[in-house]
Amino acid sequence: MMNGTIKKLSEDVEIYIFFKLPMKSIMRFKCVTKTWCNLMQLFSFINLHHNYASSKKDEFILLKRSLKEQNVFTNPLSFLRTPNGDDDLDYITRDLEVPYLSTGYGSIFHQFNGPCHGLIVLTDYVNFVILNPATRNYRLLPKSPFVCSRGFYRAIGGVGFVYDAIQRTYKVVRISEISGEEPFNDPSVVDWIGEVYDFSVDSWRNLPFGEEEFPWPYNCPFAEMYYKGVFHWYAHRNLVAILCFDSSTEVFRIMQVPEICSLYDEKVHCLTILDECLTFICYPDPRRVSSPLQEITDIWIMKEYNVNDSWIKKFTIRCPPIESPLAIWNDSLLLLQDKRGIVISYNLNSDKVEEYKLHGYPGSLRIIVYKESLMSIPKGSTQVENY
């Protein structure tokens, strides 16, 4: 203070202070002065904030679940955090309903992709909604113009959300299998269709698959992962493999899984990140009566990305009967949904099992480990809305 007046802080100091604040406080300060509002809308500020937030260890939980009441399904999103740096969970935002997506029993299978720079995509495989959970902005993407010819049926196998660092644009990719249906059913007529929605041009286009036969993405919780500019799906055809889509070249390729996991057995598989490495988890199939030998869960990490010989088994654990893994949080807690639809955790270091007060319709839970971001929703022909 000089001569009874408060000396104005430099913009660099203001930015440093803003970066230290929780997201709710930053959003409130946008309303204080026009100067601050304009500052926080600059791409340079948003990008610096994203880089700062990415370097911090603060990780939030984004939970999607289905709730059933009197044969009516709702599919709310909740945003949670650890209150004191421990492994407990507190709600930041609770039970937001995402518009535009279908309801009914099929909604328990809605896909949940991301994050890319703090943005996520939710889809019922036909409609796609991009959302920033921190700013609560969202936008419905235009529908794909693709329509099946009469007498054919489309089965959607895989959906992904990526960021193309070369073109500096986000993309949504969808994989479909086209086959004949009654009364024109011809099992020999099967074709794969790849589609990509490019945010920079606000439109869909087809992707070539070429002549190579690819494994089919397996639609189960936690079966896909965006990592190092590539989207990965747990997939199978004759063998278990990982189907990859490069965000910049838009080329599909196959990555091998650990050799011992490549054959069909009594296990299901999923993908995540552990110790900053692509991670492959083999866990008991909840729909089979497994032998005692198959009740264990193996966790493999790829020490050197895209080098098949670098897979190593990191953990072998025996956790309670589960429906599926959900995420690895803080590099130590394996989050799971049990067969009752309740979230539990398995501590990979201490083998401690803990139950959380989080539940949903059995099999419907999905979790994304998330860091808050101010990243804007890319504009297009549809309107950006806010909760």
Per-residue pLDDT reduced to its tens digit, 15-42: 767 776 777 777 777 777 777 777 777 7
Tokens of 106: 């099929």
Q: Which distant-in-sequence residues (6+ apart) come within 8 Å of 198 by Cβ?
A: 169, 171, 204, 205
Asked if residue 17 belongs to a domain, the reply is yes
Q: What is the mean pLDDT of the chain?
A: 84
Tokens of 381: 């022909």
Which range marks the domain in which residue 20 is found?
Answer: 12-56
Asked if residue 254 belongs to a domain, the reply is no
Asked if residue 274 belongs to a domain, the reply is no
Question: Structural domain tally of the chain?
Answer: 1
Tokens of 244: 């990859």
Asked if residue 27 belongs to a domain, the reply is yes
263 versus 115: the higher-pLDDT residue is 115
Q: Which distant-in-sequence residues (6+ apart) come within 8 Å of 41 by Cβ?
A: 376
Q: What is the dihedral of CA 364, 370, 372, 373, to 10 degrees?
A: -100
Asked if residue 88 belongs to a domain, the reply is no
Question: Does 6 have pLDDT greater than 50?
Answer: no
Asked if residue 183 belongs to a domain, the reply is no
Report d(CA 71, CA 53) in Å as an integer: 41
Asked if residue 44 belongs to a domain, the reply is yes
Asked if residue 229 belongs to a domain, the reply is no
Decide if 350 contacts 334 (C-beta within 8 A): no
In sequence order, which ranges of 42-173 are alpha helices (DSSP H)? 43-55
In terms of Cα–Cα distance, which of 144, 76, 142 is closest to 107? Answer: 76
pTM higher than 0.85, yes or no?
Answer: yes
Question: Does 4 have pLDDT greater than 60?
Answer: no
Q: What is the pLDDT of residues 264-303, one digit of tens each?
A: 777 889 999 999 999 999 998 888 776 665 678 999 999 9
